[in-house]
Amino acid sequence: MADEERAGNVTMAPPTVQALRELVVRISRGEAEISLGSKALKVLASLVERPDEVAVSSIMSLSASVGVNASTLSRLARSLGYDSFAQFQQVFRDALTRGQQRFYSEQGQRLLDDDEHAGSGPLAVVAQLAQESIRNIDGCLSQLDASDLAAAAGVLARARRVRVFGARQMHAVASLLSYGLGLVRPDVGLLDGPGQSIAASLAHMRGGDVLLLSGVSPYSRQAVMVASAASAAGISVIALTDSRASPLTACADHAFFIPHASSFISNSIGAYAVFCEGLINLVAKALGGKALKSLERHEQFIAALDIEMR
């Protein structure tokens, strides 16, 4: 009998996040084959609206996030027909993996399917992206904390060595940070610069040095591993990422959350560029006269090498 009930529960367990969302609606309407208390239903509704967080969080951090005990999440999972919370969470992890595998093609498909500005010409496409970047910048600003910004800028100003990392498109963000910070202070470079292996670069870093890295969903496994290895070695980690559910957040001494939602075929980095410029300026202000001397020395070599056209 117990085996039959167990088999029935496994069959009943919703196999996808979308099925869980539909179950929430059916339970609310009294149309589902199972029932949940009002508190459990509210928790489930909250979970299905934050699938990425559910996929990457521990049961303890997730229970704190939704305001219940970990045991409540375990009971909820069993009530839904899963053997354990881990099995329930695997549904969200599978969805996240599928979404990451098709992220770029789905972004492209949405662009091709978007008829809203189809008859408005090329300017409308650019204007839409600009407005989306403005919304992302506003979203970033709403989450910034002045004291955390100042602390991160101070760490970057005082560090003996700063290395910057970003995989795939976030490499462009890393390059901007490396160039800008390199204008105002010495010993800044890309972690994976020409002729450098990531392992060798990390091996040259010590406690008090800083790794500044950026990564967003779909998260690069390499970026997460680099952040984890650096943190374990006592290197200060500053992360630019997209949400508190990001796997980079757990490794970071300072984390800044910058949205990237847009109709661009990849991750939009408009808001990231604005934040990076602001962070570089804050480091320059923290360095004061040292930053000015660094800029002047930079100008001297531009002149000596006759780089700029006049």
- Report the distance separating Cα 263 and Cα 129, nearest Å: 7
Residue 108 in any domain: the answer is no
Residue 55: domain span: 2-100
pLDDT confidence tier of residue 80, bands split at 50, 70 and 90: very high
Asked if the structure places residue 123 within a domain, the reply is: no
Residue 28 domain-assigned?
Answer: yes
Tell me the three state secondary structure of residue 202.
helix
Judge whether 62 and 52 are in contact, CB under 8 Å.
no
Give the per-residue pLDDT at 104.
58
Other C-beta atoms closer than 10 Å to the C-beta of 99 total: 16
What's phi and psi for 213, nearest 5 deg? Answer: -135, 160
The neighbouring-strand residues paired with 162 are 188, 210
Question: 3-state secondary structure string, 146-168?
Answer: HHHHHHHHHHHHHCCCEEEEECC
Name the pLDDT band for 11 (thresholds 50, 70, 90): very low
In the chain, the number of structural domains is 2
What does the pLDDT read at residue 107? 57
Residue 163 and residue 298 in one domain? yes
Q: What is the pLDDT of residue 180?
A: 98
Q: Please check whether residues 188 and 85 belong to one and the same domain.
A: no
184 occurs within a structural domain = yes
In a domain, 310, yes or no: no
SS3 at position 62: helix
Helix (H) or strand (E) holding 33: none
Tell me the whole-structure pTM to 2 decimals: 0.67
Q: Which region holds residue 110: left if phi is over 0, alpha if psi is between -120 and 50, else beta?
A: alpha
Residue 115's pLDDT is what? 58
Tell me, yes or no, whether 294 and 197 share the same domain.
yes
Output the pLDDT for position 72. 94
Whether 221 and 277 map to the same domain: the answer is: yes
Q: Quick one: 193 and 285 in the same domain? A: yes
Secondary structure (3-state) at 182: helix
Mean per-residue pLDDT, 96-117: 60
228-281 tens-digit pLDDT: 999 999 999 999 998 877 889 888 999 999 988 788 887 889 999 999 999 999
Do both 48 and 158 map to the same domain?
Answer: no
Task: State the CATH number of the domain containing residue 71.
Answer: 1.10.10.10
pLDDT for the residue numbered 109: 66
Residue 41 has pLDDT above 50, yes or no: yes
Does residue 47 sit in the same domain as residue 191? no
Specify whether 292 is located in the same domain as 150: yes
What pLDDT, on a 0 to 100 scale, did the predictor assign at position 4? 35
CATH code for position 132: 3.40.50.10490
**Rounded Cα–Cα distance for residues 7 and 242 (Å):** 40
- pLDDT for the residue 118: 52
